[in-house]
Amino acid sequence: MRNGMTPEDPPMLDIAFAKPALPKSGALVLLLPEGVAAADPAGAMWQAADAATGEAITRALSAAGFKGKPGQVTTILAPGAGLSRVVAVGLGKPDALTPHTAEEAGGHAAVALTREPAAAIAASGLSADMAVSVALGAVLRAYRFDRYRTREKADDKPKLAKLTMLTDDAAAAKSAWPAARGIAEGVFLTRDLVSEPPNVLNPVSMAERCKKLESLGLKVEILTPKDMAKLGFGALLGVAQGSANEARMVVMHWNGAGARRGKAKPLCFVGKGVTFDTGGISIKPAGGMEDMKWDMGGAGTVVGLMAALAGRKAKVDAIGLVGLVENMPSGTAQRPGDVVTSYSGQTIEVINTDAEGRLVLADVLWYAQQKYDPRFMIDLATLTGAIIIGLGHEYAGLFSNDDELATQLHAIGNATGEKVWRMPLAEAYDKQIKSDIADMKNVGGRPGGAITAAQFIQRFINGKPWVHLDIAGTAWSSKDSPTVPKGATAFGVRLLDRLVAEHYES
């Protein structure tokens, strides 16, 4: 069960920790750095397993050309000594090992073990923290979104259910694991939300799922269209007015600062939650429109992040806000040429109804500042196709008015593998969204489209440190990677959780 919200999904991979000892049966994973023959004690388990199998492992690794390079995997079936298989996973050079590369090794192991119900991973020689990173990588890679598979054969389903990490400091690793598991649960929640079909996940049902996070200790408020109309959310409600599914705004509070509360302002995270985006009257082409179920990826990340902070009991006060709408064409839909008044009082000429996410963010960001006076704000949105043209699917676009925040996120992105690349903000781009009849228009033309979108959002930032992350190219993946199976990535959950952990907790 994931966060008590999705009992129909398979359980998360079970992780245990134990002192190093050669298993008498089942599967064994050997994490081997380059130059393993000389490594000590990293090679101790390898040597024991090799001796027990009559040097079958040595012969197999030699024949496969295994060198211990990062990502290199060799599987040896039934080598003897009761073992069903031995999987060698390369760690690379010992002095280059990082938590991220350790996670990737765990992910490679999980893929190689998919036909085994249980296995042990020899992590002797690694610190307790590194052993936890390996386990976390395996858990993240083993994720599956299964709830709509009704005809899959039992033999086609992955069998791996439990991993035992064999580590010298098993007690320390076991103590550290609950926090890592809390992060994994947040990632899984985001992947679940982004994977859901749009006939199941709409603004109302997504808000209801957020409400269930109160079981983790979050305080959750839900604002209805009536509530938002009283506040003056003209921009957000304009997007929603064409859909039969009502809009919602959800505010999630995690109060973990304890005695420090009041000494530091809360951190604020805001997500775009367009649960399905047809483009509205400016309708999208049919090809690929089914992908627009994940136009709520920014909101999904914020929900998963808040679950992760609560799951690991982060010592910080944080607020997550998500604006949830469905962008549909109908007789009541917003038209190109309409002028709406945002919660800030600024007016917006809607040139293109498919540039709707920035309208949602405009009202929610202004509300966040006025209501909570946060230390900083970070918004996430699958905002523009233009960012994919510029950065592909490798980096998210980062826009910011604060050099310190931008620098922190860049470094953490490289460390976690959730990479960001800073893009410019400048007055010249701002001129592109000047309107002839209102305070601004919602698009600035094709040149620099991701930048002019960020310039639009910046007009609703009232002096607060702010980062905008355009995750259109990174929220969903069409291929597997070491710790992320094809599909929803949950990009940003681990990036922002690490930001909080390293720089903003007591």
Amino acid at site 112: A
Token pair of 506 as six digits: 């007591």
Peptide bond into 41 cis (omega under 30): yes
Which helix (H) or strand (E) is 188 found in, with range? helix 170-195
Distances (CA, A) of 432 to 193, 356, 438: 35, 17, 13
Amino acid at site 166: L
What sign has the CA pseudo-torsion 297, 298, 300, 301? positive
Distance CA 368, CA 410 (A): 24
Contact between residue 490 and residue 187 where contact means Cβ atoms under 8 Å apart: yes
Contact between residue 125 and residue 168 where contact means Cβ atoms under 8 Å apart: yes
Residue 393's closest CA among 422, 425, 421? 421
Three-state secondary-structure class, residue 476: strand
Distance CA 38, CA 68 (A): 12
Which residue is catalytic, options 209, 358, 494, 498? 358
209 is catalytic: no
Distance CA 381, CA 393 (A): 14
Tokens 């359980």 map to which residue?
Answer: 11
Q: In the sheet where 440-441 sits, what is the strand order?
A: 339-341, 347-349, 440-441
Conformational region of residue 106, where left means phi above 0, alpha means psi within -120 to 50, and beta covers everything else: alpha
Which residue is catalytic, options 284, 315, 375, 464? 284
- Residues whose CB falls within 8 Å of the CB of residue 144, separated by 6 or more in sequence, listed in order: 9, 10, 158, 485
Token pair of 406 as six digits: 């931008």
284 is catalytic: yes
Question: Which DSSP string corresponds to 137-150?
Answer: HHHHHT----TT--
Distances (CA, A) of 410 to 137, 150, 399, 413, 452: 21, 42, 11, 5, 21
Phi, psi of 445 (to 5 degrees): 90, 175
- Residues whose CB falls within 8 Å of the CB of residue 417, separated by 6 or more in sequence, listed in order: 100, 103, 104, 483
Residue 16's closest CA among 229, 202, 178? 178
Distance CA 89, CA 103 (A): 12
Distance CA 58, CA 46 (A): 9
Catalytic site positions: 284, 358
